[in-house]
Structure 1
């Protein structure tokens, strides 16, 4: 998901959502330790496209961050990113796209994304397999049973005292316009061309020890 630098109170008291990234656009969303230090006295949630590496590990360990990795079907990611590039901006951290790319027909833009952005997604997915404390959440889990997904995340973060009624109330009162959700429907990637599906499988085959079934690749 995408976020802007802000800090606001969350529905569970004493916390909020914020950013640990100094720049967006085409910049990799690596966590800034200075921001993590400045906000370490607060409970918060931050959402970033960040890969797991030595720097990420250091920040997670130093500030006791509970990492949650939200993943979705890679084919759906292609369609979602296609729509995002057109609806919001060509500037992003995963692929250097221009307005010329945004104006391509659907099939050509999807091929561009598969060829140049999907390798970033795969790198992201593989990198988090080295993190022993990560909680994996699938996009379909979030869309079909949001309450259970949130409860799992809260338990992972040590917040086991939150009641179901509080979660339900937070879901009812959330600001859906701030979610920046596209269509939010799993399965849209089934319409990709056979060539693009084959290329995604080929990329994933570079990591034979990694299970990609969680993101829709056998």
Structure 2
């Protein structure tokens, strides 16, 4: 009897959430509310119930230091002028790993709109893929030459913060390293995370086909107009909604978090470093690593 009452209670509350009817929860304990919230947050059925037919969803996932802030601060605001929502699903920040937080989309009331997420440094998982397929989402995966990303990350650690979700090193530990030791740290401790990020999302690429778009930082530097137009096409905007000039999307005043924005800085890494990266990639015979600038 208790189990059936609990099930009925959850069903009623789920129905209330999906129809946006307000609930009287004054009689519930904080622990009961927490249990219900946890149960519903991971229920992908809520997403399917609340998504309106034909709504678009672009999940912008990116390797750190691949120019993702540039895309987020340029294309994102333009899509908002077209009625899109651009929510960030970064919950907690700091050392907490980024993920696809369904509960955050619900909290932000974004699911009834076309959605372009801000840059997400989200590691692939079958759970995320299942959710993306369930809501008929598309993925924009943004990346860059691996060695250049690592050097740009070194600059970021030097000049901004060492608090990152893909590794742990505090400020004092980082600044105690000389330049050679910093390069070693990046190759042996950080590069495996970048490789794993692409290996995972390449699995999604195989499943999603035309709903998966790869954007390279090198192309963004060389021809931002072409990249922005490709993203707008991928977003299925009608051509009449395109701006007359991409100057209305990208201006020099846009905050891009660029450091040097120079291709080829990764040449600082030694032959030994590059041999290590080759060994890390060896098990993945079917993965195309050219998107990371690796042969």
Taking structure 1 as the reference length, the TM-score comes to: 0.88
The Cα shift of 1:188 comes to 0.8
**C-alpha spacing 1:188/1:101, structure 2 compared with 1 (3 Å):** farther
2:295 matches 1:214: no
How big is the shift at 1:198? Answer: 1.5
SS class of match (1:116): helix
In 2, distance between residues paired with 1:164 and 1:106? 45
* CA displacement 1:61-107 (0-9 Å, x = unmatched): 23333210011111111101111111111111111122234212222
1:94 maps to what in 2? 166
Which consecutive segments of 4 or more residues in structure 1 shift more than 4 A? none
- For each residue in 1:4-48, what CA deviation from the matched residue of structure 2 results, as whole angstroms up to 9, or x when unmatched? xxx9x8224113533012121111100100122331123343211
Q: Which of 163-172 and 42-51 deviates more?
A: 163-172
Q: How far apart are 1:175 and its partner, in Å?
A: 4.1
Match of 2:250 in 1: 171
Q: Is the 8 A contact 1:68 1:136 kept in 2?
A: yes
State the alpha-carbon separation in 1 of the partners of residues 281 and 180 from structure 2. Answer: 21
The unaligned stretches of length 5 or more in structure 2 are 1-63
Q: Name the structure with the higher helix share.
A: 2
Q: What pairs up with 1:34-183 in 2 under 5 angstroms?
A: 34-37=103-106, 38-45=109-116, 46-103=118-175, 104-131=177-204, 132=208, 133-161=211-239, 162-163=241-242, 165-172=244-251, 175-177=253-255, 179-183=256-260
State the SS of the aligned residue for 1:84: helix
Higher alpha-carbon deviation: 59-68 or 202-211: 59-68
Bigger-Rg structure (1/2): 2
**Using a 3 Å threshold, how does the CA distance of structure 1 residues 201 and 66 change in structure 2: closer, same or farther?**
same
Give the CA deviation at 1:200. 1.3
RMSD: 2.4
The alpha-carbon deviation at position 164 of structure 1 amounts to 5.2
Q: Against the structure 1 CA distance between its residues 191 and 16, is the aligned structure 2 distance closer, same or farther, given a 3 Å change threshold?
A: same
How far the C-alpha of 1:58 sits from its partner, in A, is 3.0
Q: Number of paired residues? A: 214
